[in-house]
Structure 1
Amino acid sequence: METKFVDVILPLPVPRPYTYRVPKDWNEKICEGARVLVQFGKKKIYTAIIYKIHHTPPQHYRAKYLSELVDEFPIVQPNQIELWRWIADYYMCSLGEVMAAALPAGLKVSSETIIMLNHHMEIDFDQLTDREYLIAEALESNEKLTMQEVSDILQLKTVYPIVQGLIAKQIILIEEVVKERYKPKMNDFVTLSPNYQSEEQLKQAFDELSNAPKQMHVLMKLLQLGKTPPEKVEAVKKTTLQKEAQASSAQVKALAEKGIIEIESLEVGRLPSYQSEPGEKQLNEEQQAALESIEAQFEESRKPVLLQGVTGSGKTELYIKLIQKTLDSGRQALYLLPEIALTTQIISRLEKHFGDQILVYHSKFNAQERVEIWQKLLKTEQPKLILGARSAIFLPMNNLGLTIVDEEHEQSFKQYDPAPRYNARDTAVVLSAMHKANMLLGSATPSIESRFNAHSGKYGYAFMGSRHGSAQMPDMEVVDLREQYRKKKMKTHFGEPLYEAVKKALSNKEQVILFQNRRGFSPFVQCNTCGWTPECKNCDVTLTYHKFLQKLKCHYCGYNIPHPKTCPACGSPEVQLKGFGTEKIESDIEIYFPEARIKRMDLDSTRGKNAHQQIINELETGEIDILVGTQMITKGLDFEKVSVVGILNADLMLNFQDFRAHERAFQLMTQVAGRAGRKDRRGKVFIQTFDPDHPVIKQVKKHNYDAMYNVQDHERLNFHYPPYYRLIKLTVVHHDKDLVLNGSNELAGMLRRILGDRILGPEYPAVARIKNKYHRQILIKLEKQLHLGKTKEQVASLITDFNLMDNFKSVRVIVDVDPV
């Protein structure tokens, strides 16, 4: 029998697939895309994906045998592997890092290190350190311990050196235990026994239970819930039966022991089901014209199309028409959204139209739910609408016909850490091309890059310039904060015009949204006597005060301390809160509008699985009068009763040291302003600023996207930024500041020797230390005409050479292609 080998992808940042030998009796069972368990290193077991089957042994090492065959069918399809390969090449990372991001955790089996006492050795406790003694003592009362349990006992994050010391002294042994992460959800169901499914048999059962009235009641409830007649009684969930019959588990069990009922454990899905409702909205003339234009461009070429439609223009109705046409043709549709907060309203709208044809996939689902979605897509032959955030591009799709990227300008389509640092919008363009699927990008405020691609003919283009129905664009008023402070008309953070508008809206039973792009109660605390401010011990940032927690907290690493009553530097009691975040605004509103029902929507208030949905539902049903939030509230949410929107400090968005700062400020302000007014009610938007003559403020006030685009396009061309140039950002990271300084200088010098003045830096970022690691950045600017693939190969080779140098072996270099 022939000897087969497989190249496998490991979920690790290793530079290439590794080759393993196939046991001969598995030769006919293996297939590309299936999972296998492999030993990598001395003992660790990992889930790997079969990448390639061949007959060539590796040249530089002896191939190990595969440890276990997990699947006898592919769980990753060839088109997915092709996409993984493109992501790894384009974003300069390993296939293993892409695999780790793409596969749900529940599909990745791995081993866990277990330690136990070596009973062949006599322990001399006097020879042990204090920490070694604690472990040995714990193992005398526990047969085995996991590494996490050891970590908990010692209250240390890193315990490997201590465990290695015990291994060296032959006091403990270790083993690797493989654990399957995914378990199907099982529920107990109750049915009538086959011996009691006729009227006569059932009468006999009731006679038997004449002295057990509670059990008789359970049986009667089963017949009621299972919809008699007895020969057709449906299975009823055991917990439901117990609840309805007000019975105990023992009473149900007693019926089973008498043979009257049977209890069977069945697999049930974890995924929610959706019900469709009849009826659909008619498109207006502008929507119909845009739809026809998009469909004509799809027919003419396979180019992506950019749909630019002002807030409230009805882009979702167009999406529904395009999705329906795709599903009717027997193909799948993928609808990508940037934030989980967006999906709540969108799901309810799409649910009404598509019912159980929808599959929703996002990060708030647990590992088990994600596996079920993956498996459902692998098995289904039916056309489906897949709705999700950026990770949905990794799902197995065998017949993709349409991809929609809504709010395509959003930064949250970009993955930051860990690798792969991909942009889901750009990856979706490649995915659609691989499937020969139509591709639509939608936004009221497109990114400069996408609008440039439409302008240059790389993308198609469609436009909708008015709101749907009789709705008008909101009235924009700029509030000069300098004047408000000078005339003493400010009420903490509210200028007089905004304050009066909020008061009027509340009296009219209308709703208000207040936007402040900073969470927490106060950005920082400062001593008025000596100027001391508390800083994070792990990061180069000041701590933010959170009133709810009564603590000062770092938003980078989570480090927190109690709010100091006196200054630790000088002892002064004059320690005051400075600035304001969403929590502080919420607190102040309660003072000015005590009768108003107020809610906050930011990262801190929406950590729970259904927290977004709850807030959105309460706003829709009128249970919230004022919603205070960060940029989460800008994300395409539609509420008919919102008549006033206040941007409390527009200057915070304009003063970032970033070439995209003005573009993002325009997008954020336009998007949050778009929440005001719908149908026959014109909304009012107040932009509070110390610089009312700023060009971006004027562009937002006039809803003038083209003016903003023209200015930004001109500046990007002159200063060599996207869309005219490509960027690659290298970040040098280490806990030793000098090593980061010297290493970044060395790497920049190496790069300059091949790329010349295309290299900027190195320089420290705004936050140079995070979690006790220092960062220094190098920016590479590349002309569009330059061969990108070849340049990336050169850069990757230089990074490898850099990491081979004795001084810099421990220095990490993070590569970010197309940083945002």
Structure 2
Amino acid sequence: MTPRFAEVIMPLPIEGTFTYSVPEELSSIVKIGMRVVVTFGTHRLYTGIIQYLHLIPPDTKNVKPIFSLLDEEAILIRPQLDFWEWMATYYMASLGDVYVAALPSGLRLENETLIRRNPEVDKTLSFSSRESRIWNAISEDRACSIQELIKRTESKHAVVWIKSLMDKKAVIVSQTITDTYKPRTISMVKAAFNKDNEQEVQTIFERLKRAEKQLSLLITYLDLSQLLSKQETKPVSKQTLLEKSGASVAVLNGLVDKKILQLYDQPVSRLTHEITTPLQEAASLNLFQTKAYQSLLDEWKTKQTVLLHGVTSSGKTEIYIHAIQKVIALGRQVLYLVPEIALTTQLTHRLARVFGSKLGIYHSKFNDNERIEVWKNLLHREGLQIILGARSSIFLPFHDLGLVIIDEEHETSYKQQDSAPRYHARDAAIMLAHLHSAKVLLGTATPSIETYQNALSGKYGFVELKQRYEGITLPRVASVDLKEAFRKKQTAGHFSDTLIEAISGALSRREQVILFHNRRGYAPYVECPQCAYVPKCKYCDVSLTYHKQQHKLICHYCGFSQPLPDRCPSCGNNSLKIKGLGTEKIEDEVSQFFPNAKISRLDLDVANTRKGFERIITAFEQHETDILIGTQMVAKGLDFANVSLVGVLNADVLFHYPDFRAHERAFQLLSQVSGRSGRKGKQGNVLIQTMDPNHAVLPQVIAHDYISMFRTQMKERYEFCYPPYYRLIVINLRHKDENTVHHASERLAKQLRKLFSDRVLGPEIPPIGRLHSWYMRTLLLKIESNRSSNAAKKMLKETIAELQAEAPFQSVQINFDVDPM
């Protein structure tokens, strides 16, 4: 047989694929998209994925074989691999980067180091007390993982003594691949006897005559299972049997010990929704929604992607539901993207009432086992047709995607910021839809500048929905001049008298209030009033945020923390001052002003788990909470019927951010948080506190004037060469040594200017110049939007490869952020 070869994607940030030979015994069963175990380097094992198979031998003679196959069928399907290739190319990442981002970690089997005793160990060897401790902890008959040995010896330094035993050839070290996925099971009960053997059944009843509790339990089992009837035997869970019989576990174990009943584990799905009511019909659309929906269908006849520009509380979700019904009726699948995990809580209930078990949820707050089950359900077509999820949902194995809905398409949360590939889920989802010949629906009240321009230019279809549901008018928005309020002593804490009176009025009418401030913690920093010392992170160039509840100073970037010092470490002064405002401090002040109000907070400090999100949102939805204080989480499409007032504590944080998108984002965030007010029943109110009441964005927010904001921003962006007129690529350099990264960035900028002239800006020290002990520099490359960026990306990569070939800069880490946010 002609030798076959496989190009394997490795879960490593390395360009390209790696060639492995396919063993003859695997040749007939190996397929593209399967996981394989391969060695990489000397002895390390990895889980790779086959990108494609071929018959062309590589140039090298030492081709390693595939160690083993992990799948009986591919876990990736062709559109996914095409999508991976596009993402790696467009976002200038490696296929390995995409692999790590795309697959749940449970499908990337972990490499584990195993330690076993050497059976040929020299018997005359002497061990130190710590070496003996490790030796004795290793089982004689099986290998142990390092984690097991650390646990058994209760020693954090076990690795040091394992190394010592290795040097003495007392232990053997090997690598293995471990599967972390564990299916959920429930304990079931079945008969351990032959029900058709009447004599055996009679004997069992005779044996239990004096064991009344066991006999009663057995009778309950027979009744529940219908084992002795002519009907089909029903499965019985251990929990149900114990509840119905009122018996204890000991009684059941007695029947198991007598081999009358038997326990076994049955796998069950984790994909359930807590909806107990029967499925409902989708709500009827009103006149304006019907018109918008019909326009949407008409636009899709000629356009793949359509923007639905609907004001807040106009009922866009009901239009989405009708569009979903149309698509799944054709047997196709739907991806419904939301920017914030908190949104899935409310939407899950709304969608599950209509679509039931056809709905699946997928986001990072679900544990790995739950995400794997969603993946496998889609892969094997086991019933899910609709996926509601955050940005990582774009990587799921859809067979026949018919519609992609991107709700709140303007949200920056759709952009992956931290690690490669730094993809934008909105843009990537549009490409995914293209690969499936699916339609795309972009929904928002405040479109991104780029999206709105695409709609106006005819690249996207365009549908408007200008009326709120049930004819409710848009909220009244007013600004409060904080500078003037402070001057006239019309404030208490960080609240103007105007805002306090408005909150008091809403509470007296039993209405709810949302208070928005986009900074968590108690205060952004503390300062010594005597020497102006500010505690900073040891590893990042940022001040530490004070968290009162933990009485700690915490870095929001790397997690470093320290107790709040009693006195200034610099001058010894014993009265450090807390400066600035965070959501925790707002909660403190509000509880003092309104001691009888029920107050909750929605930020990452209190809602860092899925249950945390759900608990806070459900409590506010059911009016168990009067005032909700939150960061930008509260601005992202949540629907609360009884909110009549929204207060913005300090809008200046949004106005003066050093970014060309600051004006656009301030408008979007203020408009969106305003839209949480007055959604049902009557017009709501919004009060925006600011030190800069003359800022240009405020009249646009107050008048709900998106068009004015769009026009002014387009004019500025044309003048200063920013999107949508130019594409941007940020080049990030980092190194542990500041001089090295400085010289590397200067050298790279010089080389790039030879190719791109004044389109290259920088190098600059970013706003945070050191993160996790890495010193940072950035360059910005601008490319005209009417020119292909592929050639520029190719030249950029070649230039960086030349730089990193030079000895001083080989250890400089360089990554790209294409279309940065």
TM-score, normalising length from structure 1?
0.95
Q: Find the aligned partners of 2:161 and 2:587 in 1 and give their Cα distance.
A: 49
Deviation at 1:785, TM superposition (A): 2.6
Counterpart CA distance in 2 for 1:201 and 1:500 is 81
AA partner of residue 101 (structure 1): A
Q: Deviations over 1:655-713 (max 9, x none)?
A: 11000111111111111111101222211110000111111111111111111111111
Relative to structure 1, is the Cα distance of residues 139 and 714 closer, same or farther in structure 2, using a 3 angstrom cutoff?
Answer: farther
2:386 aligned partner: 385
The 2-side partners of 1:492 and 1:110 are apart by 52
Q: Quote the Cα distance in structure 1 between the aligned partners of 2:290 and 2:327.
A: 17
Structure 1 residues 46-445: aligned runs within 5 Å: 46-115=46-115, 120=121, 137-143=133-139, 146-147=145-146, 170=169, 173-192=172-191, 195-196=194-195, 205-223=204-222, 225-226=224-225, 230-232=229-231, 233-273=233-273, 275=275, 277-302=279-304, 304-380=305-381, 384-445=385-446
Q: Residue type of the partner of 1:695?
A: A
Kept in 1, the 8 Å contact 2:282–2:321? The answer is no
* CA RMSD, 1 decimal: 2.4
- The answer to whether the 8 Å contact 2:359/2:388 transfers is yes
CA shift, 1:199, in A, is 10
| Cα offsets for 1:249-283 (capped at 9, x unmatched) | 34223223444433232211122146552233221
Q: Cα 1:184–1:107, aligned 2, differ >3 Å: closer, same or farther? A: same
Residue number in structure 2 paired with 1:767 = 768
* 1:502 aligned partner, one-letter code: I
Rounded Cα–Cα distance in structure 2 between residues aligned with 1:405 and 1:662 = 23
Cα distance in 1 for partners of 2:47, 2:670 equals 46
* Residue range with higher mean Cα deviation, 463-472 or 654-663: 463-472
In the TM superposition, 1:617-628 aligns within 5 A as 617-628=618-629
Give the C-alpha shift of residue 390 in structure 1.
Answer: 0.6
Is the CA contact (8 Å cut-off) linking 1:331 and 1:383 kept in structure 2? no
Gaps of 5+ in 1: 127-132
Q: Describe the shift of the 1:147–1:768 C-alpha distance in structure 2 as closer, same or farther (beyond 3 A).
A: farther
Do the aligned residues in 1 keep the contact of 2:341 with 2:390 (CA within 8 Å)? yes
Residue identity opposite 1:326 in structure 2: V
Inter-partner Cα distance in structure 1 for 2:459 and 2:163: 58
Give the aligned residue type for 1:353.
V
Amino acid at match of 1:728: I
**Secondary structure at 1:66's aligned position in 2?**
coil
**Alpha-carbon displacement from aligned partner over 1:147-197 (angstroms, at most 9, x marks no partner):** 55788889889x999977875665654210221222322322113456347
2:581 corresponding residue in structure 1: 580
What letter matches 2:594 in structure 1?
A: F
Q: 2: CA distance between counterparts of 1:699 and 1:516?
A: 20
**Other-structure match for 1:605:** 606
- Relative to structure 1, is the Cα distance of residues 516 and 135 closer, same or farther in structure 2, using a 3 angstrom cutoff? farther
**Equivalent residue, structure 2, for 1:679:** 680
Look up the SS of the partner of 1:283 in the other structure. Answer: coil
**Runs in 1 of length 4+ with deviation above 6 angstroms?**
149-157, 159-166, 197-204
Q: Which amino acid aligns with 2:58?
A: P
Q: Report how far residue 218 of structure 1 moved.
A: 2.1
List aligned pairs for 1:703-782, cutoff 5 A: 703-782=704-783
Going from structure 1 to structure 2, the CA distance change for 1:251 and 1:154 (only over 3 Å counts) comes to closer
Q: Once the two structures are superposed, what CA deviation does each residue of 1:360-382 show, in whole Å capped at 9, x if it has no partner?
A: 11111111111111111111165
Matched residues, percent identical?
43
Note the C-alpha offset of 1:105: 1.2
**Which stretch shifts more, 270-279 or 688-697?**
270-279
The secondary structure found in structure 2 opposite 1:216 is helix
Of residues 7-16 and 551-560 in structure 1, the stretch that sits farther from structure 2 once superposed is 7-16
Any idea what the Cα deviations from partners look like across 1:701-753, whole Å, max 9, x if unmatched? 11111111111111111101111101110111111111111111111112112
Question: What is the rounded CA distance, in whole Å, between the counterparts of 2:792 and 2:583 in structure 1?
Answer: 45
SS of alignment partner, residue 234 of structure 2: coil
Cα–Cα, structure 1 residues 60 and 690, in superposed 2: closer, same or farther, change >3 Å? same
* 1:596 to partner: Cα distance: 0.7
Q: Once the 2 structures are TM-superposed, how far is the Cα of residue 796 of structure 1 from its aligned partner? A: 1.0
Q: Structure 1 residues 237, 382: closer, same or farther in 2, change over 3 A?
A: closer
SS at match of 2:641: coil
Q: Residues 338-362 of structure 1, C-alpha deviation per residue, up to 9 Å, x if partnerless?
A: 1111100011111111111101111
Residues 616-636 of structure 1 show CA distances to partners (whole Å, capped at 9, x for unaligned) of 110111100110000011110
AA aligned opposite 1:285: L
**Does the residue aligned with 2:14 lie in a helix, a strand or coil?**
coil
Alignment of 1:29-40 (within 5 A): 29-40=29-40
Deviation of 1:107 (Å): 1.2
Counterpart contact for 1:31–1:72, Cα < 8 Å? no
Whether contact under 8 Å (1:758, 1:782) holds in the other structure is yes
Tell me how far 1:17 sits from its aligned partner: 1.0
Q: Is the 8 A contact 2:195 2:227 kept in 1?
A: no
1:610 aligned counterpart, secondary structure: helix
Q: Calculate the TM-score normalised by the size of structure 2.
A: 0.95
Q: 1:686 to 1:236 in 2, by over 3 A?
A: same
Tell me the SS of whatever aligns to 1:669: helix
In structure 2, the CA distance between the partners of 1:69 and 1:625, relative to structure 1 (3 Å rule), is same
2:309 alignment partner, SS class:
strand
Paired with 2:5 and 2:297, the residues of 1 have a C-alpha distance of 48
Question: Map of 1:644-659 to 2, 5 A cutoff?
Answer: 644-659=645-660
Q: Give the whole-Å Cα distance in 2 for the aligned partners of 1:344 and 1:795.
A: 43
- What residue number does 1:784 align with? 785
Q: Give the superposition deviation at 1:409.
A: 0.5
The answer to whether the 8 A contact 1:114-1:145 is kept is: yes
Equivalent position amino acid for 1:632 in 2 = M
